[in-house]
């Protein structure tokens, strides 16, 4: 067991986020378009409003919020196959886009949204760990922009968004808990946990996985505390970005 | 917020598992073949040994453990499409089979396994909630049987299994934590958590999802305690089944 | 040419069926659910009623009966690929499920069924030869149970089933005709024939294939006679099972 | 029950084949290329020799013979979807191409063929019933041409073809047995049977299907006799074509 | 740079088309059915009329004209995979069928066609270069036949075809421009150009590709002049065929 | 026929390019990474070097250059389906990526590249017409950067790039030729032409399509002249970008 800070942390503390940058209106067509950066990780999150709902919501008076996720082939250190060319999305891709979708729906009142769909597309331009947490954090900002446009256009009188949501990864390196894992840290940590929380400080999703040694209850507690700190900071940054 | 025990619990307490039955040697061809029942949920888990490894392990001296999951079309209340006919596995199926695979690998020393693969196939014959946790719990028994056969055949001198593993679901119904959710409970709970733990009492996976209201830290603590109780009991039952 | 009884027949005569077991209500959700066993071959046959018909029957006043077939990956001696993972059903699978569907429709008056569909799912849990004939024989019992439920529920006043149907395989081992081939026999026989007959003793399907030497008219006659004996016995067992 | 000859038979007897035309060397690239016509049904059968074998035959010293089948979209009365565009072959297509392949292999000594593959492609240019029997009958001629080329080129010293093979359909229209069904007959017959026989008069495949009423043993006997007559005539025409 | 006529041209001049043959009514079911031959290249072009339109044209009052293209596996010198078996159409196939479709629509007044679709299926029976240009040239004749049938049947009062269209390939062999490339020429030319022109002498498509050395403006001019000559001759042959 | 400059051109002349921006090193992992902007059209072009070649080049001593193209779902005005989710690339996508690949190979000496592959991935972040021409123009810069890295690393002693290449679209609006079409222009032009040229002023590809009225030889000449002007300017900008 080691508790030495890894080399990757030379400029930040174990409990410190990477520099986060949130750029709204990154592309021009989407109702919400946000480039979010967690250090070197860059994800383009767009929100698209469609004035219809999928089959299982038709006639329900409720809307739907859904997400898709992708990585450009050379977002990663070595080129990975293009999923469109291979003809199917990997299990990992599907897992992530289902997580993003659930996280967004957790803060949406679908009745107030009305019979329309918000599609959130999270496309990773550059990957360095934490692409799913950056996606969730950025998608919320894009969704908020799209909702604001619907309100401004008189299509909604009241926001269907009930609260904020953001996500961060935490990991156990030996007995040292780390916040916001970079790629090299992610692949050396024994435990990797992704935590999605609301602005009220409640959990939407907690996904902890032992990549190496199984983790103890004490380690889990330490990781949850660290994650809470990270999410609180991200939620503040989202608000700041939305007000600028 | 309600704390009334749901009707589905008329014969068991909130912190009680459904009757669990583990039948080894359920089918004859597989190296391990276990029918596991959590109440009405019935999953056939087979372990197949193949004397080769996938590409990413070739020449590594290490083995591989992997899992696939399926549901018979009429395992469920209304018939669902056959994935083989539709031509692809759903995101849910892939998510579950990845979880089973990771859970098994967490208790395997792949070096000791040698360059061979153990395939765990978990096929749901009848579904009533908890199919993924039953799969993990049953797959471990099947894997143990397959390993025992390899040892008996002199192909392994030492077991590559480092410890036991089992899984259970827990959920928050209003402010009442419930152990081992049946289908009707699963669909009414606000929070659904699947916990995979080792016989040493450590976590391999924790996946908590707020289906309705986000959950608090206190609720999470209550759920984790309940899950730990359930997994401890399941691990005892696995040992008993393996000794019979 | 040999006429020696193969080793696999040590406890049964050349013209004897394997022990047949028909277990109704094997699973709880389906309108009909039958586990049928021909010796070591075990197939779970479920009948699911859906209150609509496929496109080509819409508005016709007629119903539809269709079948799907699958094998669990480790139903066989060595593990075979999961068709859902591979992304398509093999030619063999499609051939078998088309045969089951035609066999069932041969004893259904689709007009009397009304605009609803009966889906028959035949899933092989354990394979030892004869999975398609066991599927047909078991599917009929499941279909009968489903029809009985429709009548009991007042949705049908009259049974759309016109007569019974069952199927058996026969084969030519040298010049010895064998009834109900096990896997090892199936793979050594020169000719393999599957015969589907009604309770009135008429043919629904006859599919004879020379795997080795082409077969003569005399051999064909011997095989048809043997098959007729087998089907008559199976139809009696179906009736017995349905009355228990 | 009727025994009136159908209108489609105004110029031929119930036991008469349609005019058959076999044109060799129809296209120039293939080692064997035969246009076969059964009345209006026109199938282009090509035989292609490839100097390697599929995986399951590698190193066996044996060759392989395989077939593929297709229909041009407007070979039929109304246009059918192009299978290549739809992205998969129908169950019917797969069933037919498996039948053609088995029929060809029944008259091939794969050891004498050596480690090479003969691909038979049967593409229906115009369909009017009997496409699978025309395919088998034409494919044999194409295969024979390809084998002759291999012998002429000194790649084979002895023919791997053990005898001739051809196929015909027969059907029961009321109580009238008909030879070589046209499309309109095929769709009105109660029973449809395809019979593949060798030049020695033995069966390779018998596939009888009751489309309407199940058929009796007597009807089956009548159909088999009629088929034998048809196949004998076809085999004579194949020989004649091969000698021209 | 060479300007020697290639061996393949021993019987025709550099600016001469191969012998062209246009056979109408080649198959019997389609509303238009044309076998077109450019030397050894043989393409069967059928036109099928469907009394409905694809989604994007529904309710528009306009019709649609679309094309599909395929090659029989042994149309080519060595057998190529069957696209239906492989489960997808190649990029080349899609490129060609999109080109044929655009070329046909360029001479159709979709309003005058009314809400119906004309499907053009171009299937290559034998390939020796120029399959896409033969397809376009033949498809026009098939389309004209289908339109004439619609007029004869009183479904159209006026032809939606505004003018003729045909296509030819030209290429640069060294500094020698060649008309109507055969396969061996196609694969040795530095530049390959396909030109689709109307009977009025205007361009519908020009697709020039440098396979070897990029081409100059002067070369392009020479190629366009040669193509114009070829298309003018083809359009005359189309008219002649339509009047016979 | 109109010759009025369209509204979209309020700030640029008919023969003027949109503002072009070429940003190298846009992402960090790829050997070449270029964001190219033609007005509002933004394409990320990455070049990835892989030290192996596809099957058809193995053992040839030659390398390979290939391209893939994609659009983010909300790069366009209304959201389009994600090709990875739909499970296949559209015909348009395949056509474009084949064009990019051919254009790059036209300026590569594959022998000098050695047995390695350069993958060019062109992903459209924002679309406003001209995505394929921007892709080609940007891919060349990315490829040059990748080659420079190979030279700097001592893996190549000499550049396999023989000259520069760039591409532009031109179109005929009535009788007014326009350079570098924006989306709204592209969809109103009668003719759309994409021209790929080398730095030596020779053509690699010319693809002209009449979307409305077929075009005359004079119009084609005007368009080619305009394209040449545009490409010359783009090639200068590429050089400038590569020197900065």
* DSSP assignments along B5-29, one per residue: PPGGGTTS-TT-PPPEEEEES-SSS
**Look-up: residue for tokens 């024979």?**
D144
Q: How far is CA C228 from the centre of its chain?
A: 15
Do residues B77 and C27 touch, judged by C-beta distance below 8 A?
A: no
Segments in chain F below pLDDT 70: 1-3
What residues are paired with D203 via a beta bridge? C215, D197
Q: Is residue F6 part of a domain?
A: no
* pLDDT for B195: 98
Cβ neighbours for A62, distance < 8 A, ≥ 6 positions apart: A53, A110, A111, A113, A114, A115
- Asked if residues C116 and C156 have their Cβ atoms less than 8 Å apart, the reply is no
C15-59 pLDDT tens trace: 999 999 999 999 999 999 999 999 999 999 999 999 999 999 999
Contact F125 A76 (CB under 8 A): no
- What pLDDT was estimated at residue F211? 83
Residue F46 in 3-state DSSP?
A: strand
Across the interface, of A29, A33, A89, the residue whose CB is closest to F84 is: A89
First-to-last alpha carbon distance for chain B, in angstroms, is: 45
Whether B196 is in a domain gets the answer yes
Residues A83 and A131: their CA atoms lie apart, in Å, by 17
Name the E residues in 182-241 with CB < 8 Å from any D CB: none
Contact yes or no for C31/C47 (Cβ under 8 A) = yes
> Any chain B CB within 8 A of the CB of A102?
yes
Query: Is residue F5 domain-resident?
Result: no
Residues, chain E = 244
Q: Say whether residue A86 is in contact with chain B using an 8 A CB cutoff.
A: no
Q: F70 — contact with chain A (CB < 8 Å)?
A: yes
CA distance C128 to C190: 18
CATH number of the domain bearing residue B110? 3.30.230.70
In this complex, the residue of F68, F121, F125 whose CB is nearest that of residue A44 is F125
CB contacts < 8 A (E, F): 84
B181 CB-side CA count, 13 A? 28
Give chain C positions within 8 Å (CB) of B100. none
B81 vs C: CB within 8 A: no
Chain B residues in contact with C76 (beta carbon < 8 A):
29
What's the structural domain count of chain B? 1
Give which of E81, E103, E229, E90 is closest to E165, Cα–Cα.
Answer: E103
Average pLDDT, chain A: 95
For residue E198, give the chain F residue with the closest CA: F214
Of the candidates D205, D216, D224, the beta carbon closest to that of C202 is on D216
Please state the residue numbers annotated as binding site of C for phosphate: 92, 130-132
* F204 → closest Cβ in E98, E106, E210: E210
Q: Do C125 and B30 touch (CB under 8 A)?
A: no
Asked if residue B158 is part of any domain, the answer here is: yes
Residue of B nearest to C88 (CA): B87
Q: Residue C31 has which token pair? A: 């309108």
Domain contains D4? no
B2 has a pLDDT exceeding 80: no
Q: Does F74 touch chain E (CB under 8 A)?
A: no
Question: Is the CB of E46 less than 8 angstroms away from the CB of D73?
Answer: yes
Per-residue pLDDT at E1 exceeds 70: no
pLDDT at C83: 96
A163: nearest CA partner in chain B: B214
In a domain, D8, yes or no: no
Distance from CA of F92 to the nearest CA of E (A): 8
Q: Which site among A34, A85, A120 would you substitute to test the F interface, given the most F Cβ atoms closer than 10 Å to its Cβ?
A: A85
Distance CA C138, CA C123 (A): 11
- A173 versus E113: which is more confidently predicted? E113
Establish if A88 touches chain F: CB-CB under 8 angstroms. yes
C238: phi then psi, degrees, rounded to nearest 5? -60, -45
Strand partners, B44: B35, B123
Residue C167 or residue F1, greater confidence: C167
Residues C4, B46: Cα–Cα separation, whole Å: 37
Given a contact cutoff of 8 angstroms between Cβ atoms, the answer to whether E157 and E88 are in contact is no
Candidates C112, C6, C127; CA nearest to B30 is C127
Which chains have at least 3 CB atom pairs separated by less than 8 Å from chain F?
Answer: A, E
D210 and C204 within 8 Å at the Cβ level: the answer is: yes
Which of A26, A28, A29 should we substitute to test contact with F (largest number of F Cβ atoms within 10 Å)?
A29
Closest by alpha carbon to E35, among D83, D125, D77, D70?
Answer: D125
Pairwise CA distance, residues F123 & A27, whole Å: 14
Tokens (6 digits) for C234: 């199976």
Structure confidence at residue E2 as a pLDDT band (50, 70, 90): low
Is D92 labelled a binding residue? yes
Most B CBs within 10 Å, among A209, A215, A226, A229, to test the B interface: A209
CB atoms within 10 A of CB A232: 14
For B14-66, the pLDDT digits (tens) are 999 999 999 999 999 999 999 999 999 999 999 999 999 999 999 999 999 99
Residue A178 maps to a domain: yes
Using DSSP bridges, classify how beta strands F191-198 and F165-173 pair: parallel, antiparallel or unpaired.
antiparallel
Contact C27 B119 (CB under 8 A): no
**pLDDT value at position E11?**
84
Picking from E48, E72, E76, the nearest residue to D74 by CB comes out as E48
Output the pLDDT for position C2: 55
Question: How many helices (DSSP H) and strands (DSSP E) are in chain D?
Answer: 6, 9
pTM: predicted TM-score of the whole model, two decimal places: 0.94
Chain E's closest residue to D74, CA to CA, is E30
Name the E strands within A72-134. 117-126
Query: E-assigned strands of F79-224?
Result: 117-126, 165-173, 176-179, 191-198, 203-210
In D123-216, which residue ranges form alpha helices assigned H by DSSP? 131-152, 183-186
What confidence category does residue A2 fall into, taking pLDDT thresholds of 50, 70 and 90?
low
Do E85 and E52 form a contact (C-beta atoms < 8 A)?
A: no
- Give percent of chain C with pLDDT exceeding 70: 99
| Euclidean distance between CA atoms A172 and A219, whole angstroms | 8
Per-position DSSP letters for D14-56, written without gaps between them: TT-PPPEEEEES-SSSSSEEEEEEETTEEEEEEEEEESS--GG
Assign C3 a pLDDT band (cuts: 50, 70, 90): low
pLDDT at A7: 86
DSSP H helices, B47-204, are 83-86, 91-105, 110-113, 131-152, 183-186
Q: Predicted confidence band at A63 (pLDDT cuts at 50, 70, 90)?
A: very high
Q: How far apart are CA E160 and CA E138, in angstroms?
A: 18
Which residue in the block uniquely carries the two structure tokens 């080691």? A2
The CA distance from F106 to F111, in Å, is: 13
Partner residue opposite B74 with nearest CB, options C46, C72, C89: C46
* More confident of the two residues B2 and B167: B167
What is the pLDDT averaged over residues C58-66?
96
Q: Does an H or E element contain E65, and which?
A: strand E64-71
Beta-strand pair F64-71/F117-126: parallel
pLDDT band at E174 (very low <50, low <70, confident <90, very high): confident
Q: Domain range for residue A154?
A: 14-79+88-243
Q: Which residues of chain D have pLDDT under 50?
A: 1
ipTM of this complex: 0.95
Q: For residues C33 and C121, what is the distance between their CA atoms, to the nearest angstrom? A: 9
CA R_g for chain B: 18
> Looking at the domain assignment, is residue E152 inside a domain?
yes
Quick check: A133 and A169 in contact, CB under 8 A? Answer: yes
Q: Do the Cβ atoms of B111 and B62 come closer than 8 Å? A: yes
Cα–Cα distance measured from residue E136 to residue E22, given in angstroms and rounded to the nearest whole number: 12
Give the residue among B42, B49, B52, B39 at the shortest CA–CA distance from B10.
B39
Beta bridge partners of D168: D195
User: What pLDDT, on a 0 to 100 scale, did the predictor assign at position A188?
Assistant: 87
Contacts of B152 (CB under 8 A, 6+ apart): none
Q: What are phi and psi of F169, to 5 degrees?
A: -105, 150
Q: Mean per-residue pLDDT for E99-121? A: 97
Measured in angstroms, the CA of B29 and the nearest CA of chain A are apart by 29
A155 inside 8 A of chain F by CB: no
pLDDT at F5: 85
């Amino acid at each position: 067991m080691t508790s030495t800070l890894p080399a990757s942390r030379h400029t930040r503390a174990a409990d410190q986020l990477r520099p986060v940058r949130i750029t709204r209106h990154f592309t021009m067509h989407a109702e919400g378009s946000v480039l979010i950066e967690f250090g070197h990780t860059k994800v383009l999150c767009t929100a698209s409003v469609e004035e219809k709902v999928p089959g299982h919501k038709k006639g329900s008076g409720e809307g739907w919020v859904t997400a898709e996720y992708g990585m450009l082939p050379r977002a990663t250190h070595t080129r990975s196959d293009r999923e469109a060319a291979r003809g199917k999305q990997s299990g990992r891709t599907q897992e992530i886009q289902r997580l993003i979708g659930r996280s967004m729906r957790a803060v949406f009142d679908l009745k107030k949204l009305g019979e329309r769909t918000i599609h959130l597309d999270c496309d990773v331009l550059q990957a360095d760990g934490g692409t799913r947490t950056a996606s969730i954090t950025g998608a919320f900002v894009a969704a908020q922009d799209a909702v604001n446009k619907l309100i401004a256009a008189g299509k909604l009188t009241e926001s269907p968004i009930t609260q904020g949501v953001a996500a961060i990864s935490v990991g156990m390196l030996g007995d040292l808990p780390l916040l916001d894992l970079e790629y090299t840290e992610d692949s050396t940590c024994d435990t990797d946990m992704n935590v999605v929380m609301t602005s009220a400080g409640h959990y939407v999703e907690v996904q902890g996985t032992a990549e190496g040694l199984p983790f103890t209850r004490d380690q889990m507690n330490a990781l949850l505390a660290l994650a809470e700190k990270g999410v609180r900071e991200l939620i503040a940054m989202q608000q700041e970005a939305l007000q600028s």
